[in-house]
Structure 1
Amino acid sequence: MLKLSNFLSDLVPQSIPLSLYVHMPWCVRKCPYCDFNSHTVPGGKQLSLELENEYLYALVEDFKTQIDLAQGRKISSVFIGGGTPSLISAKGYQWLFHQLKQHIEFIEDCEITLEANPGTLEHQPFEDYLQAGINRLSIGVQTFNTEHLKKLGRIHSVDNAMLAIQQAKSAGFQRVNVDLMHGLPEQTLEQALYDLKLAVEQGATHISWYQLTIEPNTVFFRTKPVLPSDNILSDIQEQGEQYLIDAGFINYEVSAWRKEKPSMHNVNYWQFGDYLAIGAGAHGKVTKEDGVYRFQKTRLPKDYLEKTPAPMVNFEKVAEDELPFEFMMNALRLKEGAPMPYYSQRTGLDIEALQPSLLQLRQQGLLLKDEKQLVSTEQGYRFLNAVLEKFL
């Protein structure tokens, strides 16, 4: 059991970067593997203008209730997730950003990421989103294999996916992430590597490449699809990583590969930064002078819209004995880890209480012997769960 020192009194929230998460809860169709808070669009394939306007207004009212939590800080990044955020019009986002900036300032060149579905019915021309202020796209391809797309319940085709990446680049987006999954039902090594090859060849500047996991409360959890064997999964991981390295990508987080700069928003998450959260089911984390707090918004869009601004489902302080694990679980996902001072600055706890665990992990070759940085060795990164157990 990890023994903690006394809580520090000099926790300074204003020194911690602040991001914003915006949740758009609707999809054309719920995918069988998805456990995110997403709901089928009411009445058809397109979001009505009336519902879009109602929801955008509710987001602004929600944001107003969180102004005090910013504690004078500017928004350093925005991530719009879902659901399918590209169901909302570019004009709607332009209005939303204008309204939000009236209440909390955004930094210059604020990173604003939009998750987009490759399906042709779900988004306007990418030029419109760029002009609205969105400067980074995350395109949910998942796979370039037709049969696997069907099994995953995706509504787009392989051609849609390739065209979406090409159109995003042609529209002027310099930063285009492609989401890909591996370990799909009955997927072969060759098929998984081909997915990576197409993403690279189409011009992705960032690839989020992660293994499919079967989550409770999903169709896949009930139907138990046949997944590749452990040997095939191991080969996919090893050869896929080597392919990306050979293609010039840098692995800077467990599932994140880049040819450009890292996602500022995600790095802020992993380095235990703060983030406000608006939208149905959105989760946030903020630091106050007496500790770290987490909160979430009501999950169902109907409930979120019925009472504007929507109340928080809870606003709870993270227990002191949970903070070491929470911090390390995030920071050690990064290949470069996090600066040592971040631990005290962002948890309010004295790093000295961790020294016995840190020393043991360094002696075992799982953490680097670096007094300025908390960072795993290659072996520690491979056995990250074993490293994290030391902080429970």
Structure 2
Amino acid sequence: MADTCDMNDAGETNTTPSPVKTLQLPPVALYIHIPWCVQKCPYCDFNSHGQKQDTLPETEYVSHLLDDLAQDAKLIGSRLIHSIFIGGGTPSLFSPGAIGRLLAGVRERVNLAVNAEITLEANPGTVESERFNGFAKAGINRISIGVQSFQQEKLERLGRIHNDQQALNAAGYARDAGLNSFNLDLMHGLPEQSIDDALFDLRQGIAQQPPHLSWYQLTIEPNTQFHSKPPTLPEDDILWDIQEQGHDILTAAGYEQYEISGYSLAGQQCQHNLNYWRFGDYLGIGCGAHGKITLKNSGQILRTVKVKHPKGYMDLTRSYMHQQHEVQDDELPFEFFMNRLRLLEPCPKQDFTEFTGLVMAEQPQLLKNLNSAISKGLLAETETHWQVTPLGRRYLNTLLEMLV
């Protein structure tokens, strides 16, 4: 197997030859990172940088994104891009015109499916009706709105720049913009949040009739303000009650849970996220963006990471690529299951071999670990599939640790 690839001074990679593996080429998606936001939230560990909207280098950054894509496109050749996700930061800070130029440039450089899902993340404090309509005309067909809470006190505690009314307004703009779908991001387990508070937010979210709801628990991540000054979060028993009661409310409203934090109406699952969790491929362009590509000629899986800081990323004297490496065989089982077990759908056993190139019968330790997870009730097995159990969903981290 190849050693980790190292970048030299010219921004090129030094690699050693790897044996050719026979793999099924999975679907390909495209992630585009726009790193700026109005201000950094105290819980956020994403690559984002506070900057005023009227000083954003829209034109320059879009040009760099397209140059970055032109270089990465060589990794996939004529393979079809099935979805695009523009994340951040706060991509809705960019004008509809800039997003339109970006998407036009993407179509010139890669083979984009006619019915591709194209999602843009938006902050309720940075949009109005005309802006959403402009994004739709630019080619966006799905908006993901970072609401987090509909309660003013909680929004202030989370450092959000929008208020409760703006959150409601944004959902209305999305409904009226003629999009294929839209998502609301909601958080629970907020500082000093009661069960009633959490369920109020959830009911408010459902009342906005989003085809998709991302409902996830706040966690304290390193290198965040909340990590240096931890807030008081609900105890574990309260968190579990919130999840159980919230799940029942969502189910009664017609939403189906299809992954750990994702609920949708029938046929409205996020196709971009499904591709991630099914161990699909994706190009990642923009500041700090990650990518995963199965190389057609060698069958190796390549992980890429772009330069993180905007100043460095837009430096014409250096490469956009910060690092890249071929995933080693002993890493592949954990990488595969770490993604695949987020989904509630059964996992076809054949996918493991087709997308990793490994033969399960030649992985005695992995088989032992899988059997142990099955015996503990964390994983279920049939002749053709594995599926995470309700107990496994509750203790997903424990399940994944067992498969290392």
TM-score by length of 1: 0.93
Is 1:16 the counterpart of 2:26? The answer is yes
Instruction: Point out which structure has higher relative CO (alpha carbons under 8 A, 6+ apart).
Output: 1
> Contact 1:89 / 1:124 at 8 angstroms: preserved in 2?
no
Is 1:46 the counterpart of 2:58? The answer is no
Give the CA deviation at 1:125.
2.2
User: Could you tell me how far apart the structure 1 residues matched to 2:326 and 2:128 are?
Assistant: 38
> Contact 1:28 / 1:46 at 8 angstroms: preserved in 2?
no
Give the CA deviation at 1:34.
0.6
C-alpha root-mean-square deviation of aligned residues, in Å? 1.9
The residue identity in structure 2 corresponding to 1:46 is D
> Contact 2:21 / 2:300 at 8 angstroms: preserved in 1?
no
- Residue 330 of structure 2 aligns to a residue whose secondary structure is helix
Is 1:216 the counterpart of 2:222? The answer is yes
TM-score by length of 2: 0.90
1:268 aligned residue: 275
2:75 aligned residue: 69
List gaps (5 residues or longer) in structure 1.
1-6
List gaps (5 residues or longer) in structure 2.
1-17
The size of the alignment, in residue pairs, is 381
> Contact 2:92 / 2:127 at 8 angstroms: preserved in 1?
no
Give the CA deviation at 1:122.
7.8
> Contact 1:135 / 1:173 at 8 angstroms: preserved in 2?
yes
1:115 aligned residue: 121
User: Could you tell me how far apart the structure 2 residues matched to 1:308 and 1:262 are?
Assistant: 41
1:4 aligned residue: none
Give the CA deviation at 1:387.
2.5
Give the CA deviation at 1:69.
1.0
2:12 aligned residue: none
1:177 aligned residue: 183
User: Could you tell me how far apart the structure 1 residues matched to 2:206 and 2:19 are?
Assistant: 47
> Contact 1:138 / 1:177 at 8 angstroms: preserved in 2?
yes
1:343 aligned residue: 352
User: Could you tell me how far apart the structure 2 residues matched to 1:38 and 1:235 are?
Assistant: 33
- Residue 401 of structure 2 aligns to a residue whose secondary structure is helix
1:55 aligned residue: 61
Deviations 1:164-207 (A, max 9, x none): 00111011123111001111111111010000001100111111
Which among 364, 374, 378 is matched to residue 386 of structure 2? Answer: 374
- Residue 278 of structure 1 aligns to a residue whose secondary structure is strand
Give the CA deviation at 1:380.
2.5
2:289 aligned residue: 282
2:312 aligned residue: 303
> Contact 1:339 / 1:374 at 8 angstroms: preserved in 2?
yes
Which among 280, 294, 298 is matched to residue 303 of structure 2? Answer: 294
User: Could you tell me how far apart the structure 1 residues matched to 2:180 and 2:291 are?
Assistant: 28
2:3 aligned residue: none
2:332 aligned residue: 323
What fraction of aligned residue pairs are identical, expressed as a percent?
A: 46
User: Could you tell me how far apart the structure 1 residues matched to 2:97 and 2:191 are?
Assistant: 39
